[in-house]
Amino acid sequence: MNDVNQYMQTLGSQARTAARRLARATTQEKNQALLAMAEEILAQANVIQAANHKDMQAGAKNGLDAALLDRLELNESRIQAMAEGLQQVATLPDPVGEISNLNYRPSGIQVGHMRVPLGVVGIIYESRPNVTADAAALCLKSGNAAILRGGSEAIESNQAIAKCIAAGLRKAGLPDTAVQVVETTDRAAVGAMIQMPEYVDVIVPRGGKGLIERVSKEATVPVIKHLDGVCHVYIDDKADVNKAVDIAYNAKTQRYGTCNTMETLLVAQEIARHVLPVLAEKYQSEGVELRGCEATRAILSGINSASESDWAEEYLAPILAIKVVKDLDEAMEHIHRYSSAHTDAIVTEDYSRARRFLAEIDSSSVMVNASTRFADGFEYGLGAEIGISTDKFHVRGPVGLEGLTSQKYIVLGDGHIRQ
Amino acid sequence: MNDVNQYMQTLGSQARTAARRLARATTQEKNQALLAMAEEILAQANVIQAANHKDMQAGAKNGLDAALLDRLELNESRIQAMAEGLQQVATLPDPVGEISNLNYRPSGIQVGHMRVPLGVVGIIYESRPNVTADAAALCLKSGNAAILRGGSEAIESNQAIAKCIAAGLRKAGLPDTAVQVVETTDRAAVGAMIQMPEYVDVIVPRGGKGLIERVSKEATVPVIKHLDGVCHVYIDDKADVNKAVDIAYNAKTQRYGTCNTMETLLVAQEIARHVLPVLAEKYQSEGVELRGCEATRAILSGINSASESDWAEEYLAPILAIKVVKDLDEAMEHIHRYSSAHTDAIVTEDYSRARRFLAEIDSSSVMVNASTRFADGFEYGLGAEIGISTDKFHVRGPVGLEGLTSQKYIVLGDGHIRQ
């Protein structure tokens, strides 16, 4: 325990020193490092695969289920994708140093904002080893040093990738301590990392709810966290039926296991009779289990009954809760009560209702006539995402490079003094 | 203890409900409330003064020192100023609902940001009762519900002001629970308030270092905090001597007790001989005690010697530490080591050095050729400030209305689904 703490303190201190160098790294240096990392990953593909093979064998021996083993696996195309991810981050605009709103004040000084890195970013993640490269790339491009703590089941893969990252940093003349991958699988490392505010400026946990809750609870460092995605689509009685059917079908069935998948469908009572039978047929042909309120079951006979707990559930599975509501107000009331404030959408052709929904629904993404599945850093044009924040503080929704930065004030004068 | 917790939970729950109404309050409603509060404060000036008189008497009896009693006092002109502060916030632009960067994506959806309130803001402050009105105004205008916890020494004054605030809210048709002033002086109320994330979205402590450290340490809610102001001015050898003297003199002597006052002066060795004697004479005529490094004392004979602890000290008094440095790099190294990252300034005519200082100094305000005393919400054009953040997360530097808001994503489509 003491050794792990000591080890994490050393990583922290090294990261803090590297962060200062990274904060003033030029865009060119950072891009060179990213491209060199990608090259190294491609050159070392065999070494990475061999390391991954060890993890896969250990995983199988330890009884990891098929889904986890799939997430753990690094085949040739995934290694290729990892390298492409690094190259793609190199093409993104550098957020650091951006000066905005530089205006003259009555006193004669010019005041503006300059975008700056946060400092040291700690990332805690599970199974997928490609996160090691993705997270390193986003932290580096945003001028932050990174401490990465992957899952113990991916330790060999992560160490192999870490070597490529370090080599890329050195080639660009940047300190290889700018990205450090924790080498111990001791769980105490997580505890140490989230409680050293002197060395870590923000923690991003990426993984299951258990991990995120533990980190949020115990951290003395700010956390960018992503909890549930209980997302809603509300079909208003002024909706275009075709759009409503397309969106509600897509939001549920395009992928089941993602956080931006619709979990509850709300339908205005006046239109329920027109859309529900069409939708039910489509859902059922895909094998989606429907669970409805009383009014829903009066229209769709034979489906299961939704209980109170269904409204709050993130199924991440081919199950959908359906509720018929009186109007927009009842729909918003339901969303206010049960939504996890991740992503909620309205389908309507009514201008005023669309405007109210946008203003009044307090979720990280609020949509009109679009599928909730669009709530994603790539779809939003962030280039890449380090996660999705369901918090309001600092950053909300998909988090890209900008979410890993802050802004300082700059003041330009010409000998100005305060009167 | 249990009663206080119960009471704070009730305030929290009421604030959460009011926050929802406030989030959709129109600009007109919020401004009407602000103006009605101001009217009420002027109409009730006698009542407020009578309440303040009780606090002053109790304070004198409890042995408050003259400075604290002065901060506690509400005379006619201070009550007038409080009302004017409310009126002024009414003239500020409403940050809520602002839509920015709404752009089309290749998929056809439009994605943008909408500015939204944080929700419920808790403010913990000491002695000055005018903060009650200031804080209420900023929270209200930014669409947030507020829970205000003033010092026990100002309880009568704060309650009198609270009544005016509540009356103003009611006149504008807004819930009077939108701004709640804690009625108990039990210190357990602070502990309860900073540990109810279900009801409070952010805490702003305004007061001495002890209060802020306690709140930061114990809070389970995000804190916008302001610790020390150990501010530097570095006079580069390429400085214009007149500007350097004006700025260094102003930054120290314009006010001693403020956080943006210079505490350490750094001077490049090549110019030290030209500026230090002139400056020393000016400082000494104001009674400022100078504490210098060896090189400084070789130029200014007879001044005190600065010890290691002087470099880290926020004097808030007519004392100045002076250090002669070799060059910009040594100056930045010193600032990096000792600055509290509040405000640091360079005086130079050299373009590249000014640019390096702006980019590399990691403080909430970084200045070129201007006095550190400008680091202030009013001077920066924020209209008003709720405090200054020395953190990097969420908001940095003077915090105005925008610092009390967040941004959500909005997505506009026309039946768009994800492929």
Q: Give CA separation, B262 vs A194, A222, B244, B372, in Å.
A: 34, 30, 13, 7
Give the closest-approach CA distance of B110 to chain A in angstroms.
Answer: 9
Give the closest-approach CA distance of B409 to chain A in angstroms.
Answer: 5
What is the CATH topology of the domain spanning B2-224+397-412? Answer: Aldehyde Dehydrogenase; Chain A, domain 1 (3.40.605)
Kindly identify which residue of chain B lies nearest to residue A248, measuring between CA atoms: B417
pLDDT above 90: residue B384: no
Listed residue (A227, A220, A217) closest to A195, CA to CA? A220
CB interface of B with A, residues 309-338, below 8 Å: 336
Q: Looking at B306-394, which runs of residues are DSSP E strands?
A: 319-325, 343-347, 365-370, 387-389
pLDDT above 90: residue A1: no
The reported pLDDT for the residue numbered B207 is 84
Structure confidence by residue, pLDDT tens digits, A180-225: 999 999 999 999 999 999 999 999 999 888 899 999 889 989 999 8
At residue A2 the predicted structure's pLDDT band, cuts being 50, 70 and 90, is confident
Q: Looking at A150-295, which runs of residues are DSSP E strands?
A: 179-181, 202-206, 231-235, 262-268, 289-292
Q: Which residues have CB under 8 Å from B410's CB, separation 6+? A: A358, A365, A366, A367, A368, B99, B102, B111, B112, B113, B114
Task: Please give the distance of CA B104 from its chain centroid, rounded to a whole number.
Answer: 38
The reported pLDDT for the residue numbered A364 is 97
Listed residue (B353, B374, B364) closest to B403, CA to CA? B364
How far, in Å, CA of B146 to CA of A190, rounded? 35
Pairing, β A145-149 against β A319-325: unpaired
The reported pLDDT for the residue numbered B144 is 98
At A220, which amino acid appears?
Answer: T
For residue B411, what is the enclosing H or E element?
Answer: strand B405-416
Give the closest-approach CA distance of A226 to chain B in angstroms.
Answer: 14
Q: Which residues have CB under 8 Å from A238's CB, separation 6+? A: A348, A349, A350, A353
- pLDDT > 70 fraction of chain A, expressed in percent and rounded: 100
Structure tokens at A25: 């790294």
Structure tokens at A35: 């491209």
The reported pLDDT for the residue numbered A62 is 95
Three-class SS state of B345: strand
Buried b (16+ CB within 10 A) or exposed e, B270-295: ebbebbbeebbeebeeeebebbbbeb
What is the CATH topology of the domain spanning A231-374? Answer: Aldehyde Dehydrogenase; Chain A, domain 2 (3.40.309)
How far, in Å, CA of B46 to CA of B76, rounded? 9
For residue B406, what is the enclosing H or E element?
Answer: strand B405-416
Kindly identify which residue of chain A lies nearest to residue B347, measuring between CA atoms: A415
Please, is B13 exposed, middle or buried when counting C-beta atoms within 10 Å of its C-beta (0-12, 13-18, 19+)? middle
Q: Tell me whether A400 touches chain B (CB under 8 Å).
A: no
At residue B55 the predicted structure's pLDDT band, cuts being 50, 70 and 90, is very high
B409 contacts A365? CB cut-off 8 A: yes
Structure tokens at B409: 């994503």
A379 contacts B109? CB cut-off 8 A: yes
Scanning the structure block, which residue is given the tokens 């201070």? B78
**Mutant choice from B258, B416, B419 vs A, greatest count of A C-beta within 10 A:** B416
Instruction: Check if the beta carbon of residue A117 is closer than 8 Å to that of residue A143.
Output: yes
What string of DSSP letters covers A219-242? -SS-B-------EEEEE-TTS-HH
Three-class SS state of B397: strand
Listed residue (A133, A140, A48, A47) closest to A84, CA to CA? A133
Task: Please give the distance of CA A282 from its chain centroid, rounded to a whole number.
Answer: 30
Task: Please give the distance of CA A394 from its chain centroid, rounded to a whole number.
Answer: 14
Mean pLDDT within B34-39: 98
At A208, which amino acid appears?
Answer: G
A379 contacts B418? CB cut-off 8 A: yes
Q: Which residues have CB under 8 Å from A379's CB, separation 6+? A: B105, B107, B109, B111, B418
Q: Looking at A239-360, which runs of residues are DSSP E strands?
A: 262-268, 289-292, 304-305, 319-325, 343-347
Q: Give CA separation, B92 vs A107, A268, B88, in Å.
A: 19, 39, 7
At residue A70 the predicted structure's pLDDT band, cuts being 50, 70 and 90, is very high
The reported pLDDT for the residue numbered B208 is 84
A202 contacts B114? CB cut-off 8 A: no
Buried b (16+ CB within 10 A) or exposed e, A44-78: bbeebbebbeebbebbeeeebeeebeebbbbeeeb
Please, is B242 exposed, middle or buried when counting C-beta atoms within 10 Å of its C-beta (0-12, 13-18, 19+)? exposed
Structure tokens at A45: 């593909």
- Domain assignments of chain B as residue spans, ordered by start: 2-224+397-412, 231-374
Give the closest-approach CA distance of B380 to chain A in angstroms.
Answer: 6
The dihedral built from the CA positions of residue B237, B239, B240 and B245, taken in this order, carries a sign that is negative
- Measured between beta carbons, the chain A residues lying within 8 angstroms of B201 are 392-393
B407 contacts A396? CB cut-off 8 A: yes
Mean pLDDT within A119-141: 95
Q: Tell me whether A242 touches chain B (CB under 8 Å).
A: yes
A417 contacts B373? CB cut-off 8 A: yes
Q: Which residues have CB under 8 Å from A128's CB, separation 6+? A: A71, A72, A154
Q: Tell me whether B26 touches chain A (CB under 8 Å).
A: no
Scanning the structure block, which residue is given the tokens 């009693």? B69
For residue A362, what is the enclosing H or E element?
Answer: none
At residue B127 the predicted structure's pLDDT band, cuts being 50, 70 and 90, is confident
Q: Tell me whether B306 touches chain A (CB under 8 Å).
A: no
pLDDT above 90: residue B389: yes
How far, in Å, CA of B361 to CA of B344, rounded? 8
Average pLDDT in chain A? 96
How far, in Å, CA of A95 to CA of B105, rounded? 20
The reported pLDDT for the residue numbered B414 is 97
At residue B157 the predicted structure's pLDDT band, cuts being 50, 70 and 90, is very high
**Mutant choice from A340, A418, A419 vs B, greatest count of B C-beta within 10 A:** A418
Answer CATH for A2-100+119-224 from 3.40.605.10, 3.30.70.1230, 3.30.70.2190, 1.20.1270.360? 3.40.605.10
pLDDT above 90: residue A108: yes
Give the closest-approach CA distance of B132 to chain A in angstroms.
Answer: 24
Structure tokens at B325: 């440095």
Mean pLDDT within B176-181: 98
Mean pLDDT within A335-356: 97
The reported pLDDT for the residue numbered A207 is 85
Mean pLDDT within A139-157: 97
Structure confidence by residue, pLDDT tens digits, A279-322: 999 999 999 999 999 999 999 999 999 999 999 999 999 999 99
pLDDT above 90: residue B228: no
Q: Tell me whether B369 touches chain A (CB under 8 Å).
A: yes
A411 contacts B374? CB cut-off 8 A: yes
Sort residue B301 into left (φ over 0), alpha (ψ -120 to 50) or beta: beta
Q: Give CA separation, B416 vs A95, A320, A352, A399, B354, in Å.
A: 30, 20, 20, 23, 49
CB interface of B with A, residues 345-364, below 8 Å: 345, 358-360, 362-364
pLDDT above 80: residue B1: no
At residue A127 the predicted structure's pLDDT band, cuts being 50, 70 and 90, is confident
Structure confidence by residue, pLDDT tens digits, A156-173: 999 999 999 999 999 999
Mean pLDDT within A321-342: 97
How far, in Å, CA of B171 to CA of B162, rounded? 14
Looking at residue B373, the DSSP 8-state letter turns out to be: G
pLDDT above 90: residue A227: no
CB interface of B with A, residues 94-123, below 8 Å: 97, 103, 105, 107, 109, 111, 114, 116, 118-119
Give the closest-approach CA distance of B253 to chain A in angstroms.
Answer: 10
Three-class SS state of A415: strand
The dihedrals phi and psi of A341, each to the nearest 5 degrees, come to 65, 30
Sort residue A44 into left (φ over 0), alpha (ψ -120 to 50) or beta: alpha
Listed residue (B117, B116, B124) closest to B195, CA to CA? B124
Give the closest-approach CA distance of B302 to chain A in angstroms.
Answer: 29
The reported pLDDT for the residue numbered B209 is 85
pLDDT above 80: residue A254: yes
Instruction: Check if the beta carbon of residue A122 is closer than 8 Å to that of residue A139.
Output: no
Q: Tell me whether A210 touches chain B (CB under 8 Å).
A: no
Structure tokens at B145: 């519900």
pLDDT above 60: residue A153: yes
Count of alpha carbons within 13 Å of A175, Cβ hemisphere only?
Answer: 20
Structure tokens at B411: 């997505």
Note the ipTM here. Answer: 0.93
At B93, which amino acid appears?
Answer: P
CB interface of B with A, residues 40-99, below 8 Å: 97
Torsion of CA A276, A277, A283, A288, to 10 degrees: 80
